[in-house]
Protein backbone atom coordinates (compact mmCIF):
# COMPACT_ATOMS: atom_id res chain seq x y z
CA UNK A 1 0.00 0.00 0.00
CA UNK A 2 1.20 3.48 -0.88
CA UNK A 3 1.08 6.05 1.88
CA UNK A 4 -0.11 9.34 0.42
CA UNK A 5 1.78 11.79 2.57
CA UNK A 6 0.66 15.38 2.52
CA UNK A 7 4.01 17.04 3.24
CA UNK A 8 5.58 16.82 -0.24
CA UNK A 9 2.33 17.76 -1.97
CA UNK A 10 1.79 20.66 0.45
CA UNK A 11 5.35 21.79 -0.19
CA UNK A 12 4.68 22.01 -3.90
CA UNK A 13 1.58 24.16 -3.23
CA UNK A 14 3.64 26.40 -0.98
CA UNK A 15 6.35 26.61 -3.62
CA UNK A 16 3.71 27.74 -6.09
CA UNK A 17 2.57 30.39 -3.60
CA UNK A 18 6.15 31.60 -3.06
CA UNK A 19 6.79 31.90 -6.79
CA UNK A 20 3.63 33.93 -7.36
CA UNK A 21 4.57 36.10 -4.40
CA UNK A 22 7.77 37.13 -6.13
CA UNK A 23 5.81 38.53 -9.04
CA UNK A 24 3.73 40.76 -6.80
CA UNK A 25 4.92 44.33 -6.13
CA UNK A 26 3.58 44.15 -2.56
CA UNK A 27 3.35 41.59 0.23
CA UNK A 28 -0.13 40.10 0.62
CA UNK A 29 -1.57 40.36 4.10
CA UNK A 30 -3.69 37.63 5.67
CA UNK A 31 -6.04 38.62 8.50
CA UNK A 32 -7.35 35.84 10.72
CA UNK A 33 -10.11 36.60 13.20
CA UNK A 34 -10.61 34.40 16.24
CA UNK A 35 -13.28 34.71 18.94
CA UNK A 36 -12.54 33.30 22.34
CA UNK A 37 -10.03 30.71 23.45
CA UNK A 38 -11.29 27.37 22.19
CA UNK A 39 -8.08 25.28 22.29
CA UNK A 40 -8.52 23.75 18.82
CA UNK A 41 -9.19 27.18 17.30
CA UNK A 42 -6.20 28.68 19.10
CA UNK A 43 -3.99 25.94 17.71
CA UNK A 44 -5.34 26.12 14.13
CA UNK A 45 -5.04 29.89 14.03
CA UNK A 46 -1.47 29.73 15.33
CA UNK A 47 -0.61 27.21 12.62
CA UNK A 48 -2.04 29.44 9.88
CA UNK A 49 -0.32 32.53 11.21
CA UNK A 50 3.05 30.77 11.42
CA UNK A 51 2.81 29.21 7.99
CA UNK A 52 1.88 32.57 6.46
CA UNK A 53 4.93 34.28 7.96
CA UNK A 54 7.11 31.33 7.02
CA UNK A 55 6.39 31.71 3.32
CA UNK A 56 6.76 35.47 3.41
CA UNK A 57 3.22 36.75 3.81
CA UNK A 58 2.17 39.37 6.29
CA UNK A 59 -0.19 37.94 8.87
CA UNK A 60 -2.30 39.50 11.59
CA UNK A 61 -4.43 37.64 14.09
CA UNK A 62 -7.35 39.57 15.55
CA UNK A 63 -8.53 38.07 18.83
CA UNK A 64 -11.93 39.16 20.11
CA UNK A 65 -13.40 38.09 23.44
CA UNK A 66 -15.79 35.15 23.21
CA UNK A 67 -18.68 37.35 24.38
CA UNK A 68 -18.20 39.91 21.58
CA UNK A 69 -21.43 40.79 19.84
CA UNK A 70 -22.11 39.85 16.24
CA UNK A 71 -22.28 43.57 15.47
CA UNK A 72 -18.73 44.07 16.76
CA UNK A 73 -17.47 41.22 14.63
CA UNK A 74 -19.23 42.60 11.55
CA UNK A 75 -17.68 46.04 12.15
CA UNK A 76 -14.23 44.47 12.17
CA UNK A 77 -14.97 42.57 8.93
CA UNK A 78 -16.31 45.70 7.22
CA UNK A 79 -13.15 47.48 8.26
CA UNK A 80 -10.99 44.71 6.78
CA UNK A 81 -13.12 44.69 3.62
CA UNK A 82 -12.19 48.35 3.13
CA UNK A 83 -8.58 48.00 4.21
CA UNK A 84 -6.31 47.93 1.15
CA UNK A 85 -3.74 46.13 3.26
CA UNK A 86 -6.07 43.20 3.96
CA UNK A 87 -5.98 40.75 1.04
CA UNK A 88 -7.32 37.69 2.80
CA UNK A 89 -9.89 37.55 5.59
CA UNK A 90 -10.59 34.37 7.50
CA UNK A 91 -12.90 34.03 10.47
CA UNK A 92 -11.99 30.88 12.38
CA UNK A 93 -14.95 28.54 12.82
CA UNK A 94 -16.80 27.39 14.82
CA UNK A 95 -18.15 30.65 16.20
CA UNK A 96 -19.87 31.02 19.58
CA UNK A 97 -23.55 30.16 19.48
CA UNK A 98 -24.83 33.74 19.74
CA UNK A 99 -23.27 34.58 16.38
CA UNK A 100 -24.72 33.54 13.05
CA UNK A 101 -21.82 32.14 11.02
CA UNK A 102 -23.64 32.53 7.72
CA UNK A 103 -24.19 36.26 8.24
CA UNK A 104 -20.54 36.64 9.15
CA UNK A 105 -19.34 34.75 6.06
CA UNK A 106 -21.63 36.72 3.77
CA UNK A 107 -20.23 39.97 5.14
CA UNK A 108 -16.72 39.12 3.95
CA UNK A 109 -15.85 40.59 0.55
CA UNK A 110 -15.90 37.51 -1.73
CA UNK A 111 -12.59 38.62 -3.25
CA UNK A 112 -10.98 38.39 0.20
CA UNK A 113 -12.80 35.22 1.29
CA UNK A 114 -9.75 32.93 1.42
CA UNK A 115 -11.78 30.15 3.04
CA UNK A 116 -13.97 30.02 -0.09
CA UNK A 117 -17.14 29.82 1.99
CA UNK A 118 -19.01 32.89 0.66
CA UNK A 119 -22.12 31.96 -1.42
CA UNK A 120 -20.68 33.79 -4.41
CA UNK A 121 -17.51 31.68 -4.30
CA UNK A 122 -19.55 28.51 -3.77
CA UNK A 123 -21.75 29.43 -6.75
CA UNK A 124 -18.78 30.18 -8.98
CA UNK A 125 -17.15 26.89 -8.02
CA UNK A 126 -20.25 25.01 -9.23
CA UNK A 127 -20.53 27.16 -12.35
CA UNK A 128 -16.91 26.45 -13.24
CA UNK A 129 -15.89 30.11 -12.97
CA UNK A 130 -12.82 31.61 -11.33
CA UNK A 131 -13.37 31.55 -7.57
CA UNK A 132 -11.50 31.24 -4.30
CA UNK A 133 -11.80 27.51 -3.64
CA UNK A 134 -12.41 26.04 -0.19
CA UNK A 135 -9.04 24.96 1.18
CA UNK A 136 -9.62 21.32 2.12
CA UNK A 137 -11.26 20.19 -1.15
CA UNK A 138 -8.75 22.14 -3.24
CA UNK A 139 -5.98 20.63 -1.13
CA UNK A 140 -7.34 17.13 -1.72
CA UNK A 141 -7.20 17.72 -5.46
CA UNK A 142 -3.64 18.99 -5.20
CA UNK A 143 -2.70 15.88 -3.22
CA UNK A 144 -4.19 13.66 -5.93
CA UNK A 145 -2.32 15.59 -8.60
CA UNK A 146 0.98 15.37 -6.75
CA UNK A 147 0.66 11.62 -6.37
CA UNK A 148 -0.57 11.31 -9.95
CA UNK A 149 -3.88 9.75 -9.03
CA UNK A 150 -6.06 9.69 -12.11
CA UNK A 151 -9.54 11.06 -11.58
CA UNK A 152 -11.01 11.30 -15.08
CA UNK A 153 -13.49 8.49 -15.68
CA UNK A 154 -12.99 7.11 -12.17
CA UNK A 155 -15.75 6.28 -9.71
CA UNK A 156 -15.27 8.70 -6.85
CA UNK A 157 -17.42 8.15 -3.76
CA UNK A 158 -17.46 10.89 -1.16
CA UNK A 159 -18.86 9.94 2.23
CA UNK A 160 -20.05 13.12 3.92
CA UNK A 161 -21.99 16.06 2.52
CA UNK A 162 -20.72 19.00 4.53
CA UNK A 163 -20.54 22.49 3.04
CA UNK A 164 -16.83 22.58 3.86
CA UNK A 165 -15.67 19.30 2.35
CA UNK A 166 -18.15 16.85 0.83
CA UNK A 167 -20.20 19.11 -1.42
CA UNK A 168 -17.44 21.36 -2.79
CA UNK A 169 -15.18 18.35 -3.31
CA UNK A 170 -17.93 16.83 -5.46
CA UNK A 171 -17.81 19.93 -7.67
CA UNK A 172 -14.04 19.70 -8.03
CA UNK A 173 -14.04 15.97 -8.73
CA UNK A 174 -16.72 16.54 -11.36
CA UNK A 175 -14.60 19.23 -12.97
CA UNK A 176 -11.93 16.55 -13.34
CA UNK A 177 -14.37 14.26 -15.15
CA UNK A 178 -14.81 11.78 -12.33
CA UNK A 179 -18.17 10.03 -11.92
CA UNK A 180 -19.10 11.32 -8.49
CA UNK A 181 -21.33 9.81 -5.82
CA UNK A 182 -22.15 11.63 -2.60
CA UNK A 183 -23.10 9.34 0.26
CA UNK A 184 -24.06 10.35 3.80
CA UNK A 185 -25.75 9.35 7.03
CA UNK A 186 -29.00 8.49 5.25
CA UNK A 187 -27.38 6.33 2.60
CA UNK A 188 -28.68 2.76 2.66
CA UNK A 189 -26.21 -0.12 2.19
CA UNK A 190 -23.30 2.25 2.57
CA UNK A 191 -20.68 -0.47 2.13
CA UNK A 192 -22.19 -1.48 -1.20
CA UNK A 193 -21.83 2.13 -2.34
CA UNK A 194 -18.30 2.60 -1.04
CA UNK A 195 -17.09 -0.70 -2.54
CA UNK A 196 -17.71 0.73 -6.00
CA UNK A 197 -15.20 3.51 -5.44
CA UNK A 198 -11.92 3.71 -7.29
CA UNK A 199 -11.29 6.74 -5.10
CA UNK A 200 -13.03 6.77 -1.72
CA UNK A 201 -13.14 9.94 0.34
CA UNK A 202 -14.10 9.80 4.01
CA UNK A 203 -15.24 13.17 5.34
CA UNK A 204 -17.63 12.32 8.12
CA UNK A 205 -15.91 13.21 11.36
CA UNK A 206 -16.32 9.84 13.10
CA UNK A 207 -13.45 7.43 13.75
CA UNK A 208 -13.73 3.99 12.22
CA UNK A 209 -16.46 4.94 9.73
CA UNK A 210 -14.67 3.19 6.89
CA UNK A 211 -13.81 -0.43 7.62
CA UNK A 212 -11.91 -2.87 5.35
CA UNK A 213 -14.99 -4.61 3.94
CA UNK A 214 -16.22 -1.23 2.67
CA UNK A 215 -13.19 -0.77 0.44
CA UNK A 216 -12.58 -2.24 -2.99
CA UNK A 217 -9.16 -3.92 -3.00
CA UNK A 218 -6.61 -1.53 -4.48
CA UNK A 219 -8.76 1.58 -4.12
CA UNK A 220 -7.34 4.98 -3.26
CA UNK A 221 -8.65 6.07 0.14
CA UNK A 222 -8.51 9.71 1.19
CA UNK A 223 -9.14 10.26 4.89
CA UNK A 224 -10.33 13.79 5.67
CA UNK A 225 -11.37 13.02 9.24
CA UNK A 226 -9.64 14.74 12.13
CA UNK A 227 -10.91 13.20 15.34
CA UNK A 228 -9.48 13.17 18.83
CA UNK A 229 -9.65 9.65 20.28
CA UNK A 230 -8.07 8.89 23.64
CA UNK A 231 -5.73 11.84 23.24
CA UNK A 232 -4.65 10.78 19.74
CA UNK A 233 -5.52 12.30 16.37
CA UNK A 234 -7.27 9.74 14.15
CA UNK A 235 -9.16 9.91 10.87
CA UNK A 236 -12.47 8.42 9.74
CA UNK A 237 -10.79 5.33 8.30
CA UNK A 238 -10.09 2.26 10.44
CA UNK A 239 -6.38 1.31 10.54
CA UNK A 240 -7.09 -2.15 9.05
CA UNK A 241 -8.07 -0.51 5.75
CA UNK A 242 -4.33 -0.34 5.07
CA UNK A 243 -4.49 -4.02 4.22
CA UNK A 244 -7.07 -3.52 1.46
CA UNK A 245 -6.44 -0.07 0.01
CA UNK A 246 -3.98 0.53 -2.79
CA UNK A 247 -3.14 3.95 -1.39
CA UNK A 248 -4.17 5.78 1.76
CA UNK A 249 -3.61 9.18 3.34
CA UNK A 250 -2.30 9.03 6.92
CA UNK A 251 -3.88 11.00 9.78
CA UNK A 252 -2.19 13.17 10.83
CA UNK A 253 0.08 14.10 7.95
CA UNK A 254 -2.25 13.47 5.02
CA UNK A 255 -4.94 15.96 4.09
CA UNK A 256 -4.23 18.28 7.05
CA UNK A 257 -1.11 19.99 5.64
CA UNK A 258 -2.89 20.43 2.29
CA UNK A 259 -5.59 22.61 3.85
CA UNK A 260 -3.13 25.06 5.36
CA UNK A 261 -0.97 25.13 2.22
CA UNK A 262 -4.00 25.89 0.09
CA UNK A 263 -4.93 28.76 2.39
CA UNK A 264 -1.54 30.30 1.66
CA UNK A 265 -2.04 29.89 -2.07
CA UNK A 266 -5.54 31.37 -1.79
CA UNK A 267 -4.16 34.43 -0.02
CA UNK A 268 -1.71 35.02 -2.85
CA UNK A 269 -4.38 34.43 -5.50
CA UNK A 270 -6.76 36.80 -3.71
CA UNK A 271 -4.05 39.48 -3.60
CA UNK A 272 -3.34 39.03 -7.32
CA UNK A 273 -7.02 39.48 -8.18
CA UNK A 274 -7.30 42.59 -6.03
CA UNK A 275 -4.50 44.41 -7.84
- Which residues are tagged catalytic? 48, 92, 115
| Among the listed residues 196, 139, 148, 221, the one whose alpha carbon sits nearest the alpha carbon of residue 172 | 139
The sign of the torsion formed by the CA atoms of 50, 234, 91, 146 equals positive
Q: Which is nearer to a second copy, 86 or 183 (CB)?
A: 183
Residue 161 labeled ligand binder: yes
Q: Is 97 in the site for a second copy (CB under 8 A)?
A: no
Residues 146-165 that bind a second copy (CB under 8 A): 152-153, 155, 161, 163
Element (H, E) at 241: none
Q: How far apart are CA 104 and CA 118, in angstroms?
A: 9
Q: How far apart are CA 225 and CA 55, in angstroms?
A: 26
Q: Is 128 in the site for a second copy (CB under 8 A)?
A: yes
Q: Is 29 in the site for a second copy (CB under 8 A)?
A: no
Candidates 13-21, 72-80, 178-186, 232-240: pick the segment binding a second copy (CB under 8 A): 178-186
Q: Which is nearer to a second copy, 58 or 176 (CB)?
A: 176
Measured CA to CA in angstroms, residue 116 lies from 44, 52, 165 at distances of 17, 17, 11
Q: Is 195 in the site for a second copy (CB under 8 A)?
A: no
The SS3 of residue 227 is strand
Q: How far apart are CA 249 and CA 8, in angstroms?
A: 12
> Residue 245, Cβ neighbours under 10 Å: how many?
26
Residues 221-260 that bind a second copy (CB under 8 A): none
Q: Is 217 in the site for a second copy (CB under 8 A)?
A: no
- Count of residues that bind a second copy according to CB under 8 A: 33
The SS3 of residue 99 is coil
Residue 162 labeled ligand binder: yes
Q: Is 121 in the site for a second copy (CB under 8 A)?
A: yes
Provide the β-strand partners of residue 153.
none
199-202 and 2-3 as β-strands: parallel, antiparallel, unpaired? unpaired
Q: Is 193 in the site for a second copy (CB under 8 A)?
A: yes
> Residue 19, Cβ neighbours under 10 Å: how many?
10
Candidates 78-86, 90-98, 174-182, 199-207: pick the segment binding a second copy (CB under 8 A): 174-182
Interface residue with a second copy among 41, 70, 81, 179 (CB under 8 A) is: 179
- The least distance separating a second copy from the CB of residue 272, rounded to whole angstroms, comes to 20
Tell me the helix, strand and coil percentages in the chain, rounded to 5: 45, 20, 40
The site for a second copy (CB under 8 A) is made up of 102, 118-124, 126-129, 152-153, 155, 161, 163, 167-168, 170-171, 174, 177, 179-184, 186-188, 193
Binding residues for NADP(+): 160-162, 226
Binding residues: 160-162, 226
Amino acid sequence: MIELRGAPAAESLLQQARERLQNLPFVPHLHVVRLGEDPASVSYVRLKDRKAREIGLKSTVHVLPEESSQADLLVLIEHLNQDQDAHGILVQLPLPRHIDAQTVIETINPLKDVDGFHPENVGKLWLGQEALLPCTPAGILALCDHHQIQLSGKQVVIVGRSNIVGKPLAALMLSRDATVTIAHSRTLNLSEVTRRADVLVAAVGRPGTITPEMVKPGAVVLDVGVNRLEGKLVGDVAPEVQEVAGALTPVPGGIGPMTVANLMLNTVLAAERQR
